[in-house]
Amino acid sequence: MNTNTGKKLDDYLSRGFGVCLLLVAWFLYFPNTAVSPQNSISAELATAAIKHELVYPPRSPLYSLLSWCFVDFLQLNPIANLSIMSAVFQSLSVFILFFICSSLLRNSILSFAIAALWMIYIPVMNSATIVGTTSLFNFISCCLLYFSFAAKNKKFVSSYDSLFLGLLFGLGLSVNIAILIWAPFLLCLHIEVLESLESKEKLDRLGAFVCGLGLGLLPYCLLFIKTSTSLNLAHAPLTSISDLLLYLFPLGLSGSTAGSYSLKTFLDTMISEAPFFLLGWLLLLLFYFKKREFSVLGLLSSAVLAGLYAYFLFVSGDPDTYKMQILNFCNPLSLYAVITFVVAISLILDSQIMKTAISVILLFPTVYLVPLALAATNARNDHVLLAETQAILNEVPEGAVFISYYDRSSSMIRYLEQTNNQSKSLILINERFLDNPNYVSKLQHKFEIFNNLDLAGKLKVEEILGIAIRARLPVYSHFGVVVPENYVDLPVGVSVQWVSKSMPVLYRDIVERLVAFCSRWPDVLAFTNFSRIESEELKQTAFLKPIENHLNHFGDSPLAPPLHSAIKQFQLARIDKARNICSSALAKISTNTSYKPGPYLPRY
């Protein structure tokens, strides 16, 4: 009786810890989703959902399918709700990870500490607050691991269990091919379970798993549906299975500067960006020779696959791309390391006293860091990118040429055009794709001003400027990319620097429009919480840096000193003072009878 009472008490305690983690994760992740959107795929996916298009490269067909459901069945705004969906999936991932740890360790306090530390790991937090596929990947991975361990504990796997596990694995592949790193580990788990079955039963289970896998891969059929023009014009739609395979295995195979890194660079990046990954390797080396079990062999094989995947990212070429990819890959690596740690403890330590001692050690950083993480969410609760993109769209005249270096700005403009019925027939151009022959060819077919031009497969920004001038079209862009914490792109609504370099006669007009922009900017952000931001990093790298770049180029302009003063007030979060300085500078130009302020965007 006492044993049953103790077991019930443990169950209640475990559920209480799980619910507590779920609530903390929700309050930790959800406020940060207001920083919307934070990467290029967000606006692309949202706009694609509205227009029933696919983003090429398609990245995650399952994620695209969920985006469509937001629009078609729930009638929800995808740009906001995709962020919330990421927070929900990541919160559930933390919740499920706790029960995975609890089932292996039989210690709720230690399981709580491990899951909480993973919850506040920076790459995990970032994946929960941006529109992206990583949170969904973590959720499916945790479900797959949980039900695999459950099957192992039952010592029997029915055909339905195998079908369900195959379905989860297929859905994981429909999100990210990195799910393959779990394949050896899961295989070894089920070898332990299936080794007592007869051959016919094993074949039945294998057949059920393959059927489930096929069902999980069905979202890839979306890639071959003929839709209207793709959003990312630099990539052609998939038309064959070979195209799909080339998309799935691009890393390490086609980098233009493959192998340009040194081994030291690779190791430095892994140490700084993926410490959980190294922890997993260390634990494998420590306990592999102690107990030779199938699960250990599976973890070791999974570690080799994870290392190869990370190395392919390393040799893929572009340093910025590698940095971004390895940050994304930190999520499956960190989850792998946590599972390795939990399995190691469960194999090595049978004593509950030792497990409790470890949990006490881990609870110290948990109790210290979780409140800090919760407090930090308030400082980033704003809509800066959405606010500025709306301001830019309001300023851009009908039929203008908009040039952006990254596709974040053009994607956001396209999204707002779709949702707010603000279509202005803009010519949206991504500068970084201008040396891509496929992209240039699509521009020629899509936009009339590029028709009948011999572009030789490449375009330069200066050529676009000349073409637009001859067509009497205004050209609009932003200069500089501001990326606080490498996750948010904030385009600034001022003319790009090469305009002033190429056409010095427009010098004063550009300065005037810069002043006008500065005077409007505080009002544009009136509904945000910028004044509460106290982060020194945000002050130093916030959206005003490109304006400073312009002022440095303008040199000895009489307007430069007051604008520098305004920027200083912005950085000190003194919004009213900054507004007054900008308004005063603008008034000096407006009262000058020899000059009439032109439109915000000049027509050349």
Q: Categorize the per-residue pLDDT at 83 as very low, low, confident or very high, splitting at 50, 70 and 90.
A: confident
Instruction: Say which residue, 534 or 335, is predicted with more confidence.
Output: 335
> Is the pLDDT confidence value at 182 over 50?
yes
Is the bond preceding 332 in cis, omega lying within 30 degrees of 0?
Answer: no
What total of structural domains would you count in the chain? 2
pLDDT at residue 42, as a whole number: 52
Is residue 539 assigned to a domain? yes
pLDDT tens, position by position, 298-339? 777 877 777 776 666 655 544 555 555 555 666 777 788 888
Is the bond preceding 57 in cis, omega lying within 30 degrees of 0?
Answer: yes
Please give the full DSSP string across 432-457, using - where no structure is assigned: GGTT-HHHHHHHHHH-GGGTT---TT
pLDDT at residue 94, as a whole number: 92
Q: Long-range contacts: 569-572, Cβ < 8 Å, 24+?
A: 570/542, 570/544, 571/539, 571/540, 571/542, 571/544, 572/539
How far is Cα 548 from Cα 539, in angstroms, rounded to an integer? 13
Give the closest residue to 56 by CA, choosing from 234, 182, 189, 263: 234
Whether residue 87 contacts residue 128, with contact meaning beta carbons closer than 8 Å, is answered with yes
> Is the pLDDT confidence value at 23 over 80?
yes
Q: Categorize the per-residue pLDDT at 482 as very low, low, confident or very high, splitting at 50, 70 and 90.
A: very low
How far is Cα 595 from Cα 508, in angstroms, rounded to an integer? 10
pTM: 0.64
pLDDT tens, position by position, 440-464? 777 777 787 777 666 666 677 767 7
446 in the same domain as 549: yes
Q: Across residues 77-105, what is the average pLDDT?
A: 83
Last residue of a domain, which of 337, 370, 403? 370
Q: Across residues 532-545, what is the average pLDDT?
A: 40
Q: Across residues 226-251, what is the average pLDDT?
A: 51
Q: Categorize the per-residue pLDDT at 541 as very low, low, confident or very high, splitting at 50, 70 and 90.
A: very low
Is residue 521 assigned to a domain? yes
> Is the pLDDT confidence value at 275 over 50?
yes
pLDDT tens, position by position, 364-378? 777 767 676 665 554
pLDDT at residue 172, as a whole number: 84
Q: What percent of the chain has pLDDT over 70?
A: 41
pLDDT at residue 235, as a whole number: 47
Looking at residue 404, the DSSP 8-state letter turns out to be E
> Is the pLDDT confidence value at 84 over 90?
no
- CA dist list (Å): 301 to 39, 143, 336, 337: 33, 20, 12, 13
Instruction: Say which residue, 309 or 265, is predicted with more confidence.
Output: 309
pLDDT tens, position by position, 379-417? 333 344 555 566 667 667 777 777 776 555 666 676 666
325 in the same domain as 188: yes
Whether residue 439 contacts residue 433, with contact meaning beta carbons closer than 8 Å, is answered with yes
Whether residue 302 contacts residue 184, with contact meaning beta carbons closer than 8 Å, is answered with yes
pLDDT at residue 254, as a whole number: 33
Q: Across residues 7-16, what is the average pLDDT?
A: 73
Looking at residue 427, the DSSP 8-state letter turns out to be E
Whether residue 506 contacts residue 499, with contact meaning beta carbons closer than 8 Å, is answered with yes
**For the chain, what is the mean pLDDT?**
65
Q: What percent of the chain has pLDDT over 90?
A: 2
- CA dist list (Å): 10 to 5, 149, 367: 9, 20, 22
How far is Cα 502 from Cα 487, in angstroms, rounded to an integer? 32
Give the closest residue to 517 by CA, choosing from 382, 385, 390, 392: 392
What amino acid is encoded at 306 in this protein? A
150 in the same domain as 122: yes
389 in the same domain as 358: no
403 in the same domain as 363: no
What amino acid is encoded at 374 in this protein? L
Is residue 599 assigned to a domain? no
Give the closest residue to 211 by CA, choosing from 177, 163, 254, 260: 163
Is residue 238 assigned to a domain? no
Describe the crossing of helices 275-287 and 319-348 by its angle, rounded to 10 degrees. 40
Residue 554: give the domain boundaries: 384-590
Q: Categorize the per-residue pLDDT at 96 as very low, low, confident or very high, splitting at 50, 70 and 90.
A: very high
What amino acid is encoded at 125 in this protein? M
Poorest-pLDDT segment among 54-68, 240-254, 418-432: 240-254
Is residue 321 assigned to a domain? yes
pLDDT at residue 572, as a whole number: 64
138 in the same domain as 26: yes
How far is Cα 352 from Cα 361, in angstroms, rounded to an integer? 14
Q: How many CB atoms lie within 10 A of CB 196?
A: 10
448 in the same domain as 322: no
Residue where the block lists tokens 């696919």: 54
What amino acid is encoded at 181 in this protein? I
pLDDT at residue 155, as a whole number: 64
200 in the same domain as 56: yes
178 in the same domain as 315: yes
Is residue 345 assigned to a domain? yes
Last residue of a domain, which of 370, 397, 416? 370
437 in the same domain as 296: no
109 in the same domain as 30: yes
How far is Cα 225 from Cα 218, in angstroms, rounded to an integer? 12
Poorest-pLDDT segment among 72-76, 105-109, 163-167, 336-340: 72-76
Query: Strands 401-404 and 475-477: what pairing?
Result: parallel
Q: Across residues 98-126, what is the average pLDDT?
A: 84
Three-class DSSP category at 500: helix
162 in the same domain as 107: yes
Q: Categorize the per-residue pLDDT at 93 as very low, low, confident or very high, splitting at 50, 70 and 90.
A: very high
Is residue 514 assigned to a domain? yes
pLDDT at residue 493, as a whole number: 32
Instruction: Say which residue, 275 or 519, is predicted with more confidence.
Output: 275
Poorest-pLDDT segment among 146-160, 173-187, 516-530: 516-530
Q: Categorize the per-residue pLDDT at 158 as very low, low, confident or very high, splitting at 50, 70 and 90.
A: confident
Give the closest residue to 241 by CA, choosing from 265, 254, 224, 258: 224
Last residue of a domain, which of 345, 370, 395? 370
Is residue 603 assigned to a domain? no
HEC secondary structure over 297-340: HHHHHHHHHHHHHHHHHHCCCCHHHHHHHHHHHHHHHHHHHHHH
- Structure token digits, residue 302: 């999974």
pLDDT at residue 46, as a whole number: 57
Three-class DSSP category at 51: helix
